[in-house]
Structure 1
Amino acid sequence: MLKKDLLELCLLSLMAQGDQYGYELLRRLHAVFPDVQESAIYAILRQLCREGATERYQGETSGGPARKYYRLTEAGRARHAALLKTWRETRDALTALGIE
């Protein structure tokens, strides 16, 4: 799996836990991938929306700008399952080769 696929898997996994707003997704990914550019994460989010894997909607305002929330669609849940399967196969293959 390439890093983009891993980032996509992480984004979908976070959204599988419930609707998330963009900045929170960014903050959580930066905690584990500090070298990833913000623009790259938002590009993946836009791509997931274009492909129908996620939906974006405007949240309630609380004194600041309205937050953009993301949620998984059925296609997104299927994409998440496929990426997770690929990740597990890759992990198991690397482990079989003694790469940890």
Structure 2
Amino acid sequence: MYGSNTVALNASLMAKDNVPNIDKNSDDAKIREQTDAFESIILKMLMDNAMKDQEDIFSSQKDPGDKIYKSMYREELAKASAGGFGFSQMLFDYLSEKR
């Protein structure tokens, strides 16, 4: 009855109604904090993907918490590096322009 294009069009039209608005009175520091947090997520995903096939030097001594520890380390590394790769600045400039 309905084609997949109709369903996709209806979904995209409904999604446009749910687009969040940017508060015109929002503080630049709050926007920067959120854009840095978003960049941190991107960096974490990139590091997770890049290091998923990494072999350890001591591969015979695997610790049960090793995977969790490495994930937490990459997360903190991404948070510390956020704001220096340009994703945050591009998003900040875009959001500042839309206010």
Structure with higher helix content: 2
Q: What band does the TM-score fall into relative to the shorter chain? A: under 0.3
| Higher strand residue share | 1
Larger radius of gyration: 2
More RCO (CA 8 Å, sep 6+): 2
